[in-house]
Amino acid sequence: MKLDKDDKGAAGKKSEPMLGRDDRKDTFADILLFGPSGAGKTTLASTAPRPLYVASPDPTGHKAIPYKTPGEIIASIEEMRDVYAKFTKGGYQREFNTLLIDGLPFLYELFEYEMGIEFKEKKGSTDKDMLPIGAYGKIMKQFRELLRAFVGLTMPKDEDRMDGIHVIFTALSERIESKEDTGMLIRPRIGSDKMNQRFPSLFSITGYVYPLGSKSAAEKDPGPGTDRGLLVTPWKGVEAKDRLGLLPLSGPVPKLSDYLFDKFK
């Protein structure tokens, strides 16, 4: 499959968002941006209004805060929960408009590692590599609840709505054969196959970020200067959507601050 800026299909055709600017007022979005490594997911996410950047260390990604964006690198699940507490009790929701959580697969690896140790200690397991029976299902369920909690930050409780924020996650993409024999599917890669099937439904918007002209989602990024595209509607096997109607359905990557509500303006 080739996604090209000259293609007459959805990925090559710029479209307007379903909602007008007035209708987008006071709407806070939860977004999962996915795509191949180096496609520009973090760069796009950083264009959201007043973001706080959060990421776990990973061997191929960021070990420092990029783009002069305020943020922090977290090294434990406890630190991740501390970030959540800062937005619910610590006043961060009145300092920032967007929470950007970069590298969802790496966050899950950290979560699985720490929770795995906890399960082994409870069961008295001596096997360093094998988790107790049923542990993977419980870990996946608890990680899902953690993500739901962060998605819940998009729903303000105060009358002035200043406690609401946009929440944006980034993840890699994977390219798999369709079980319905309809060609290839391109979807977010978060963890296990079951997670990759089910977890994207947690988010109101799942957007595929890709280098225009790439032959597949598995192809490495061609480098700086390459035009990027964003797709938030299903097209040629790409599992993307925008249930909120906030973003252009397809076309070159937009500046998110032009489309997402800024509560400080």
Give residue 113's pLDDT: 86
Give residue 260's pLDDT: 95
How far, in Å, are 2, 138, 156, 204, 246 from residue 22 at the CA level? 36, 43, 19, 19, 11
Give residue 256's pLDDT: 96
* DSSP result, 198-254: HGGGG-SEEEEEEETTBS-TTSPP--TT--EEEE-S-BTTB--EETT--S-SSSBPP
Give residue 253's pLDDT: 94
Amino acid at 233: T
Give residue 241's pLDDT: 96
What six digits make up the tokens of 56?
Answer: 């776990």
* Domains annotated on the chain, with CATH: 10-19+27-246 (3.40.50.300)
Give residue 227's pLDDT: 84
| Residues of the chain where predicted confidence (pLDDT) is lower than 70 | 1-25, 57-68, 123-133, 179-182, 213-225
Torsional sign, CA 114, 115, 118, 120: negative
What pTM was estimated for this model as a whole? 0.85
Give residue 132's pLDDT: 65
What six digits make up the tokens of 151?
Answer: 């998605």
Give residue 16's pLDDT: 61
Rg (CA), the chain: 19
| Helix or strand holding residue 143 (H, E) | helix 135-151
Give residue 218's pLDDT: 43
Give residue 146's pLDDT: 95
